[in-house]
Amino acid sequence: MLSAREQLLQMLAEKSFRLGEFTLSSGAKSDYYIDCRATTLQAEGARLTARVIYDEILARQWHPQAIGGLTLGADPLVVGVAILSAQQIQSRGAGSRDPERWYIDGFLVRKAEKTHGTGQRIEGFHEKGARVVIVDDVCTTGASTNQALVAAREAGFEVVGVICLVEREEAAGRRNVERMASPAPFISIFMASEIRRVHLRLKLKEADDSMFARDREQ
């Protein structure tokens, strides 16, 4: 039986990875595009994404009080992990004191401050001094991840870790995020090259299956 990570990898390769000619948000050209939201906003994809990120947080022993990132890519990741943390506590009963299970609240970082109401840039969790994890769906240049990092620290949070679902391995993205995140570690769940390999393997299998089906019909 495939692990949650293996299942998520296959789903990203099947639903989110596309080959072709694309212009990225940075303006750079690429022969592939990864639309993580095609996976993270799908019911099973949302569950798997939350599970994998939550397990990574437990393994790192960061013990954050909240998780957040720049809207829109981080939204399903944040909500999924927050819900899963509550489910883990409920599954152990109201009286459980398991130190490995605690609520992880969520917050979202706007791309710009609101010009009305409270004018705040961060929505949701707002406890100064709290330990938080920053998440992003795709890291290319690291710009969106770093925007969230800066906003979180300006809000008085202590960033204990940064997680990117997919790292594109280009445009100095890792170096940019690591420099901004330090001393907090930067973790990538998947590399784009890993997803590409699985995507190509799935396409090859699909072609073989199609050829086999045609041969049987003849």
pLDDT of residue 100: 62
Q: Could you read off the pLDDT of 21-41 as tens digits, one per residue?
A: 998 877 889 999 999 999 999
Q: Where are the domains of the chain?
A: 4-217
- The CATH class of the 4-217 domain is alpha beta
Which value, in Å, is the radius of gyration of the alpha carbons in the chain? 19
Assigned token pair, 164: 């990117």
* 8-state DSSP, 153: H
C-alpha distance across the termini of the chain, in Å = 35
Q: What is the mean pLDDT of residues 93-113?
A: 77
pLDDT averaged over every residue in the chain: 91
pLDDT-based confidence at residue 9 (cuts at 50, 70, 90): very high
* 8-state DSSP, 172: T
Q: Please list the residues that pair with 108 across neighbouring strands.
A: 69, 123
Q: In what order do the strands lie in the sheet with 186-191?
A: 122-124, 105-109, 66-70, 131-139, 158-167, 186-191
pLDDT of residue 40: 98
Q: What is the pTM of this model?
A: 0.90
Tell whether omega for the bond before 183 is within 30 degrees of 0, i.e. cis. yes
